[in-house]
Structure formats: C-alpha cells, structure tokens
Amino acid sequence: MSGPSDYQPSNPALQWIERRLPIFGLIHSSFVAYPTPRNLNYWWTFGAILSFMLGMQILTGVILAMHYTPHADLAFKSVELIVRDVNYGWLLRNMHAVGASMFFVAVYVHMFRGLYYGSYKEPREVLWILGVIIYLLMMATGFMGYVLPWGQMSFWGATVITNLFSAIPYVGESIVTLLWGGYSVGNPTLNRFFSLHYLLPFLIAGVVVLHVWALHVAGQNNPDGVEPKTEKDTVPFTPHATIKDMFGVTCFMLLYAWFIFYMPNYLGDADNYIPANPGVTPPHIVPEWYYLPFYAILRSIPNKLAGVIAMFGAIIILCFLPWLDSARTKSSKYRPLAKQFFWIFVAVCILLGYLGAQPPEGIYVVAGRVLTFCYFAYFLIVLPLLARIEKPRPVPNSISDAVLAKTGSRSTPMVSTAIMLALAGSLFAGSIDSAKASEGGDQPPSIKWSFSGPFGKFDRGALQRGLKVYKEVCASCHGLSYVAFRNLAEPGGPGYSVAQASAFASEYKVKDGPNDAGDMFERAGRPADYFPSPFPNEQAARAANGGAAPPDLSLITKARSYKRGFPWFIVDFFTQYQEQGPDYVAAVLQGFEDKAPEGVTLPEGSYYNKYFPGHAIKMPKPLSDGQVSYDDGSPTTVAQYAKDVTTFLMWTAEPHMEARKRLGFQVFVFLIIFAILMYFTKKKVWADSH
Amino acid sequence: MTTASSADHPTRRDFLFVATGAAAAVGGAAALWPFISQMNPDASTIAAGAPIEVDLSPIAEGQDIKVFWRGKPIYISHRTKKQIDEARAVNVASLPDPQSDEARVKSGHEQWLVVIGICTHLGCIPIAHEGSYDGFFCPCHGSQYDSSGRIRQGPAPANLPVPPYQFVSDTKIQIG
C-alpha cells in the first residue's frame, strides 16, 4: 500500500491480471517486501493477533447466525440448541464468546504497547485515531453481542447501557425510545441489535484496512522510537515478520484454547444462564470485564449526565493523546519519568477495573473517585507536564545501533509488563465473580467432583442415580425442558442404550397435536421429545408454589454461582476450578435446618437454608434419607442424593462436557508441538538478521 | 520461505520448514472440520426424522392422502383395480426408468402405493389424479407419472421414489 510497485509476477496468467489490476503488486509491497524495523519485540505481534481474532469472530459469528433465532421468545433457547444439538455447536459458541474476551485482551495489550512506545506520535496520529475508532466499534459490537443470548445479564445490560443515553438533556428520552423501538427493551431491541451486531464487524474490518494502510504509509514504530534510516535498519516483512507474527498467534491460541476447552464460563456471568426476565433485576449488574474500568468511572461521578460524559470522555480523550503528549522522544525506554508514570497508569486502569466489579458503596466509591481523577490526570496533567520538564536519555542514532547495543543487556521491563498484564487479565476476569457476592449465604463446601479438572468425566452411576432422584423427587415441581429423552443415550451421558432411552420416554405422556380433527391429544413419549414440565406455564407454577416459580433445572448448575473472592479467582484460572455451580446446588440441597437460628425470623411459607442467599428459601426440604431406593448399593442418604442429582444436573447443563475436555487435550498437544516447531522455524528465519 | 538452501543438499533447515508447514497444513485442515460439519442436520432435526406410523383405514379406494415425513410429502394412494391393472399392463422395457409395479409396492398390499411426492425433475410437488396416465402430473414442467408413480412423459429423469416403509398391520404402515 505504499506507492506503485515494480513487482512483476513470473506466471504469464498472473501477469495478465497484474496489468489490469495490480493486486499482486499490492500484496507483494504490503506483506512481502514491506520493510519492517528489525528491532520489533513480541508486543508488535499483537497486531497480527488482533487480525486473527477479528477473522475468528467474523467466521464463528457468521456460522452462529446460521443457527441463532433473534426473537425475544426464542433467542435463549436457540443458543442452548446450538450448544446441545448443532455439530460442534458448543465449540463454535465457546470460540465466539471467549473470542470476544480474547479480542479485548489483545486490543488492550496493543493499546498499552502504543502508549508505552509513543506509537501515536507524529507521523502516526491518524493511525492512532483510527485505532481508537476501531476500539469504540469493538465496544459497541461486544455490547450488542452480549445482548443476543437474551439471558438476565443480556437484558439488564441492554437496559442499563441504553439508559445512558437518557442523560442527554431534552432529547435523551426520545433517543432511548428510538434505540429500543418500544417502551422498554424488548423484541424490537433484540432484532436491531442482532442486525447491527452482524454489521459492525465488517465496519471494523473496513477501518482495519484504513489502519493498516496508514501504518504502511507512516511505517511501523519500534521499541527505540527512531525511524528506520538505512536498509540495515529493516528486514523484509516476509518471511521475518510473517513467521514471528504466526509464532505470536500460535502462543496466543494456547491462551484462547485454555478458555475455550477448559474454562468457557470463567469470563462470563452465571446470571446469563437465566432467561431474560423483565420483572427481576439481578442483584449485581456487572458488565463484561473489558468495560469495567469505564463502568467504574461512570459510577464515580455522582451526577448522571456528568458520569456519562466522563465515561465516554475517558475513551475520547485517547484521540487527543498525540497532542497532549508533545514530548519529542517517542519510546518510554528513553523517558525515565514517563516510564514510571506509564506503569502507574496501567495500575490505575487495573484497579478501576477491579472497582467496576465491586458494589458501589463505602471505600469503593472514594477509591473510584481518586482513581478516576488519576486516570484523567495522566492525560491532562502528567503527560503535558512531562513533555516540558522531563530530560530524556539520549536515543540511539539508528535502529541498527540500538540492536548492536542491546546484544548483551536484555531489557527487563518486558518481563514486568508480562506479569502486570497476566495479573490485569485475571484481576478483571475474577472481579466479576467477586461482584456477585451472595448476600449472607455461607460459602458452600467444595466437593470433589468426578467431572472437574482437564480430564474430568461424569460418573455414569451417579448420572443414572441422579436421574432417578430427579424423576422421583425434583420432577414434581421442576422442569428439565432443554433435555430430550434421546440425550440419555448419547455418548458422554448416563450411558443408556437407545432402546432404554425409548422405553424411558414411553413412560411419559406427552401432549401432541392438533390431529386431523383439530384436537390436542396425549401420546406416549418418544426419544425426540423433551422432558415434560410439571406446570403448563409460569403462572401455574407460581400459583402452586406460594408465589415462587420453581426454576427449570436444565441449566441450574451453570446459572448459579457464589463469590470466590480474591485471590481465589486467580488460582481458579490455573487450577481450572469451575464447579461453583455444582458446589452451590449440592450445598443448598443439604443446607436445610429445621429451625432458624436465634433472632432470625422467616417470612411466611419460607424455610431456613444455610447456603441460600438471604437464607429464606421457598422450597421445603426436598430430600430425606432413604427416600429414593438405589439398586446399586449406594448409600441412600441425603448427601449421596444431593451429589448424584447435582452430577446429573451438571450433565443436563452441559451434555458435551466430556467431548469438550477430550478435544481440548488433543488441541493442546497439537498447539504445543506446533508452537515449538514455529519457535525454531522463527529462529532459523531470523538467524541471518541478528 | 527462503530459497537459500539448494535442492541437492537437503539441510536441517529444510526439514524444519517442511515439518512446520506440514503441521500447519494438518492443523488447518483439522480445524476446518467443525466449520463444515456444523452445516449438517443437527441432533434435534435428526431425532425429529424418526419413523412415523400412518393409519390407512380412513382412506377409501380411489382416494389418497399426503403425510409429511422428514419434511417431505409422502403420497399414500389407495389404488383402484383399474389403476393397478393399468400399472401392470405396461411393457416395462419401454419405460424411461424401467421398473415393474410389483417392485414398487408390497406384495399382498398391491392396492397401496406409497411414494415420495417430489418430482424427480426439479423438486416440485406433482398433483395426484391428474395427467394422462391416471397418476400424477407435475405442474412446474409438465412431467407425468403413472398410477405406479413411474415417469412416463416430460423432463423428469426417474420414477417417484418409494420411501422405506413396512406394514405393521393390514391397516397401518410405518414410514422410515
């Protein structure tokens, strides 16, 4: 993209095309011959990583759209059907949902890298501003994508974010109505968000083309911040940068795959496995981790309009960065003060992210205000001031000088950056969980589950016993509406044969119809039928149960969680602990006490439960010793029942868990071997250049 | 890739490049599979395609009904004596898609013709009891089928296919 090329393909057919459309010359000059500074470090591979992530998001997104239904009544179910029934649907959905987070991880690294090395300075201002536009588009896209599964967090996230616009004086309310297409967030909102969520990634791709174009006009910045002067300062893009970028992408894929196959729900919110309910707001509304610092800024300002302005201002201010920081030295490597303030700024952002996930009360509010001030002070006070008072260290004459000087003394800031960023990621991620403090419930004990860990498998006996407990006890009030009888015979499940599943199904009466006479009729269940719900509708369920509808149990072990807190959420990332849901469900089943402790009064029709948030649960103690008979000799105790039925409900929540972990292991073996090969290939390619 | 090494002397570098390239190719091909496989019918669609039972007792002689199985219309015709005789009188060798009527119905149940009602030309649904052969007529491009569902005239290349079915009793069949 940098001027006409004298490249001529050797193949006559390609020459014929080239004379009419010089596309091969464009590719050659942009991605083959393009001179790239030879001193780039691995932080520069995040551009390629971002391109990869954009490609993955568009590819998986287009595929998910083939199976998704953008309707308020069907969206949640269609997502579940993707995960349960579509071939590799669970994989594609995990790739897309986790991919959004990975996209933001990469963009934050990319932005902080630009900040540290002064990549926004003359002549790269437009390049930087295009980057800020991409970031804004990403935020809009990510937000609308999060709305599509139509869970509780989707719905209430949409409500809160669209309400931001109501802060605009005079026209705010009209704008919000316009965004909603109704009097509240509803089906029209979901439909337009789906349409825009499909559109925006292509706009991003368009701006990325401009971004790359601007990059190829100005040339890449580099860790020393001196422009290339001679040919000795650069290496050709292919193979040097190509192979290095591919190695970077491969390493990033290891992190990506870790989440896809082992912790797909770590970055999400359990509440989003509850279908959207316009009548109940979850106790703690928390955005996705990548918005948390801005959410913290929003909440720190006690005035509605000012808060919204501050939040958007925190992003828009980035556009003015090239003029706020007028220091001539680009790289913080040669700016002793700027370097320190950079790290303070990184810490401020991480802490703001942490605060964004905390309840807005007490010390958190004060800390939020202080850090919001620090955030803006960095741009408006520190950087302009440093440009005037800081005395930078001398920069090398050229890139090759810098490379020669470097051999011997490895720069250490990169190591600390890596640690900071790893910490940042886990802090952000975990703070979501910490925000979901269960109010006053005891911490459920951690049970040793057969399905935990990277090689976890369901205990078939427990699944079969759990099914029996469900059928004989739970099913009288709780539905299991996403589970079909055929699932009982699928691999990774309770291990029944097709004939056994059919026989099991035929014990149920299923409503079908209308028949030729127009009447509904009952017939015996078939494998394709789903477990019938005990109540015809939610109102009936409510009426029969003292006003509290018993929740459907299909997803209950993924829809419930409890606060893990610092530092557990960081440990959990490495140990792959993700059994908060099962631990909680098993604990609630065993947490009933006949009498409430002294001084606790329970509302009429409630029962005391140690682990239920608030302790007053509408469900009476469901299990007692000896209630369900087991024919395999397992103890018929409440503890055993609870463990078995929770195992069964973990399987109903994620029937393909075993396939997920199995494929994950294969992918990891491949990726590790490939990363090693790529590493040595990269070394060989670069051997001549050092 | 660099071309520094010559073909006569394969070096360790060449081996490394080939191994890395091969791993990338294998990994890329394997990664492609889920993206293709997801297009196939999902588990709920397959489960919904299970066999169905149809009660034949309400269908009078000379009448036919249309039922749906796997999203396809299935014609079940209670043929008259005349229709059966016509279908059996034809010289099979003269047909575009030679097949005897005996091979298209279940023996002992000759009066019942069960065919997938999708024209073998381009997928339209032929109309029963129309056309010159006492069978089906496709309004899209004029294909005509006889009382055994065999193609007799028009652009369609093959007979109406017979779905897999069996008689579970004299008046009940299971399709699929």
Residues A349 and A233 in one domain: yes
The reply to whether A260 and A159 lie within a common domain is: yes
DSSP state of B82: H
Question: Is a pLDDT exceeding 50 seen at residue A376?
Answer: yes
Any domain includes A59: yes
Q: Look at B34 and A91 and tell me if their CB atoms are within 8 Å.
A: yes
Q: Which residues contact A493 (CB under 8 A, 6 or more apart)?
A: A458, A463, A487, A651, A655
Token look-up 């959004």 returns A100
Residue type present at position A586:
A
Task: Give yes or no for residue A56 having a pLDDT over 50.
Answer: yes
Determine, for residues A66 and B23 on separate chains, whether the beta-carbon distance falls below 8 Å.
no
Strands (E), A120-270: 234-236
Helix, strand, or coil (residue A327): coil
- Residue B76 pLDDT more than 80? yes
Question: What string of DSSP letters covers A52-95?
Answer: HHHHHHHHHHHHHHHH----TTTHHHHHHHHHHTSTTHHHHHHH
Q: Look-up: residue for tokens 């039925």?
A: A645
- Does the pLDDT at position A427 exceed 80? no
Residues on chain B touching A490 (C-beta within 8 angstroms): 43
* A288 Cβ contact partners less than 8 Å away, ≥ 6 residues apart: A100, A101, A142, A143, A146, A267, A432
Taking CA atoms, what residue in A is nearest to B31? A667
The residues with which B173 forms a beta bridge, in sequence order, are B54, B167
What's the CATH code of the domain at A185? Answer: 1.20.810.10
Four-CA torsion A310, A313, A318, A321, nearest 10 degrees? -90
| Domain assignment present for A504 | no
Q: Encode pLDDT of B10-26 as tens digits.
A: 677 789 999 999 999 99
Cα distance from B1 to chain A (closest Cα, Å)?
A: 6
Predicted pLDDT of residue B171 = 92
Closest among A459, A460, A433, A440 to A573, alpha carbons compared:
A433
pLDDT at A625: 94
The 3-state secondary structure of A423-466 reads HHHHHHHHHHHHHCCCCCCCCCCCCCCCCCCCCCCCCHHHHHHH
Q: What is the ipTM of this complex?
A: 0.88
Q: Which two tokens stand for residue A236?
A: 């050709």
Residue A540: CB partners within 8 Å, gap ≥ 6?
none
Among A64, A87, A526, most B C-beta atoms within 10 A, so best to mutate, is: A87
Mean pLDDT of A633-639: 95
Residues pairing with A268 in the sheet = none
* E-state strands within B28-134: 52-55, 64-69, 72-78, 112-116, 127-130
E strand residue ranges, A232-320: 234-236
Residue A641 sits in a domain of what CATH number? Answer: 1.10.760.10
The residue type at B174: Q
Of A566 and A582, the structure prediction assigns the larger pLDDT to A582
| Residues of A with Cβ-Cβ distance to B37 under 8 angstroms | 87-88
Whole-number average pLDDT of chain A: 92
The mean pLDDT value for A240-265 works out to 96
Are A67 and B38 in contact (CB < 8 Å)?
A: yes
Neighbour count for residue A666 (Cβ, 10 Å): 11
| Residue A576 shares a structural domain with residue A631 | yes
Which of the two residues, A512 and A96, has the higher pLDDT score?
A96
User: Does the structure show a pLDDT above 50 at A436?
Assistant: no
Mean pLDDT, residues A189-205 taken together = 98
| A601: CB partners within 8 A, 6+ apart | none
Task: Quote the number of domains for chain A.
Answer: 3
- Taking alpha carbons only, the member of A45, A10, A26 closest to residue A675 is A45
**B141 carries an active-site annotation:** yes
Amino acid letter, residue A648: F
The pLDDT, as a whole number, for residue B12 is 73
Instruction: Give the list of residues 6+ apart from residue B72 with CB closer than 8 angstroms, or none.
Output: B116, B117, B118, B163
- Using only C-alpha atoms, chain B has a radius of gyration, in whole angstroms, of 26
Q: What is the pLDDT of residue A438?
A: 39
- Domain check: are A84 and A165 in the same one? yes
E strand spans, B59-176: 64-69, 72-78, 112-116, 127-130, 135-137, 144-145, 151-153, 165-169, 172-175
- Which tens digit of pLDDT belongs to each residue from A387-417? 999 999 999 999 988 888 865 444 455 555 6
Interface test with B, best of A521, A656, A684 (most B CBs within 10 A): A684
Mean pLDDT of A377-382: 97
The residue range of the domain holding A13 is 1-31
Is the bond leading into A322 cis (omega within 30 degrees of zero)?
A: no
A357-388 burial: b if 16+ Cβ within 10 Å, else e: bbeeeeebbebbbebbebbeebbeebbeebbe
Task: Give the nearest partner residue to A239 out of B2, B38, B47, using CB atoms.
Answer: B2
With bands split at pLDDT 50, 70 and 90, how would you rate the model's confidence at B3? very low
Write the pLDDT tens digit of every residue in A139-186. 999 999 999 999 999 999 999 999 999 999 999 999 999 999 999 999
Report yes or no: A554 and A481 within 8 Å, Cβ to Cβ: yes
Closest CA–CA distance from residue A514 to any residue of chain B (Å): 14
Within 13 Å of residue A594, how many CA atoms lie on the same side as its CB?
A: 1
Strands B72-78 and B112-116, how do they pair? antiparallel
- For residue A627, pLDDT over 90 is answered with yes
Whether A449 is in a domain gets the answer yes
DSSP string, A479-542: --TT-BGGGGGSTTTT---HHHHHHHHHTSEEEE---TTS--EEEE--TTSBPPPSSSSHHHHH
Q: How many CB atoms are closer than 10 A to CB B69?
A: 18
**Edge to edge, what strands does the sheet with B135-137 contain?**
B127-130, B135-137, B144-145, B151-153
Q: Which residues in chain A are contacts of B45 at CB distance < 8 A? A: 85
Same domain, A130 and A22: no
User: Residue B40: which of A81, A87, A677 has the nearest Cβ?
Assistant: A87
pLDDT on residue A5: 59
Q: Is residue A323 part of a domain?
A: yes
Confidence check: pLDDT of A434 > 50: no
Say how far apart CA A276 and CA A77 lie, in whole Å.
Answer: 11
Same-domain pairing of A336 and A474 = no
Query: Nearest-CA distance from B88 to chain A in Å?
Result: 34
Among A124-138, A418-432, A616-630, the range scoring the smallest mean pLDDT is A418-432
Please state, in angstroms and rounded to a whole number, the distance separating the CA atoms of residues B123 and B138: 10
- Provide the 10 A C-beta neighbour count for residue A537: 10
- CA gap A328, A336 in Å, rounded: 14
CA of A461 to nearest chain B CA: how many angstroms apart? 25
Q: Which of A490, A336, A678 is nearest to B27 (CA)?
A: A678
pLDDT digits (tens, 9 = 90+) for A269-321: 999 999 999 999 998 889 999 999 999 999 999 999 999 999 999 999 999 99
CATH code of the domain made up of B47-175:
2.102.10.10
Average pLDDT over residues A558-562: 92
- Residues of chain B in contact with residue A510, where contact means CB-CB under 8 angstroms, are none
Distances (CA, A) of B144 to B139, B149, B156: 9, 9, 8
* Residues shown for chain A: 690
Among chain A residues, CA nearest to B15? A681
Both tokens of residue A628? 């369900």
Same domain (yes/no): A272, A401: yes
CB A80 within 8 A of CB A148: no
Pairing of strands B72-78, B64-69: antiparallel
Residue of chain A minimizing CA distance to B65: A516
Query: Cβ atoms within 10 A of the Cβ of A546, count?
Result: 13
Radius of gyration of chain A (CA): 28
Q: Within the 1-60 window of chain B, which residues sit less than 8 Å (CB to CB) from chain A?
A: 1-2, 13, 16-17, 19-20, 23-24, 27, 30, 33-35, 37-40, 42-45, 47-48, 50
Question: How many CB pairs (< 8 A) connect A and B?
Answer: 68
CA distance A681 to chain B (A): 6
**Roughly what angle, to the nearest 10 degrees, separates helices A89-116 and A657-687?**
40
Query: Which residues from chain B sit within 8 angstroms of residue A84, using beta carbons?
Result: 43
| Nearest alpha-carbon partner for A115 in A376, A336, A322, A402 | A322
pLDDT, position A597:
86
**What digits encode the pLDDT tens for the residues B116-167?**
999 999 999 999 999 999 999 999 999 999 999 999 999 999 999 999 999 9
User: Do A417 and A565 have their domain in common?
Assistant: no
Partners of residue B16 in chain A, C-beta under 8 Å: 677, 680-681, 684
Please tell me the predicted confidence (pLDDT) of residue B6: 47
A232 and A137 both lie in a single domain: yes
**Does the distance separating the beta carbons of B24 and A681 come in below 8 Å?**
no
Q: Which of A58-62, A106-110, A616-620 has the lowest mean pLDDT?
A: A616-620
Buried b (16+ CB within 10 A) or exposed e, A239-276: bbbbbbbbbbbbbbbeebbbbbbbbbbbbbbbbbbbbb
A112-144 pLDDT, tens digit per residue, is 999 999 999 999 999 999 999 999 999 999 999
Nearest-CA distance from A239 to chain B in Å? Answer: 6
For residue B47, the one-letter residue type is A
Question: What residues in A contact B47, CB-CB < 8 Å?
Answer: 484, 486, 527-528
| pLDDT at A250 exceeding the cut of 70 | yes
- Bridge partner residues of A35 (DSSP): A236
Are residues A228 and A17 in contact, defined by beta-carbon separation less than 8 angstroms?
A: no
**Residue that is written with structure tokens 């910045």 in the block:** A221
User: DSSP labels for A374-419?
Assistant: HHHHIIIIIHHHHHHH--PPPPPSSHHHHHHHHTTS--SHHHHHHH
Cβ-nearest to B42 among A86, A670, A685: A86
Tokens at residue B4, please?
A: 């520094």
Domain match, A83 and A21 both: no
Residues of A near B (CB-CB distance < 8 A)?
59, 63, 66-67, 81, 84-89, 91-92, 239, 484, 486, 490, 526-528, 670, 673-674, 677-678, 680-681, 684-685
The minimum CA-CA distance between B143 and chain A, rounded to whole Å, is 31
> B1 pLDDT band (50/70/90 cuts)?
very low
Nearest to A47 by CA among A104, A106, A102: A106
Q: How many CA atoms lie within 13 A of B111 on its CB side?
A: 14
Contact (CB, 8 A) for A386 and A335: yes
Chain A residues inside the 8 Å CB shell of B5: none
Residue A477 clears pLDDT 80, i.e. is over it: yes
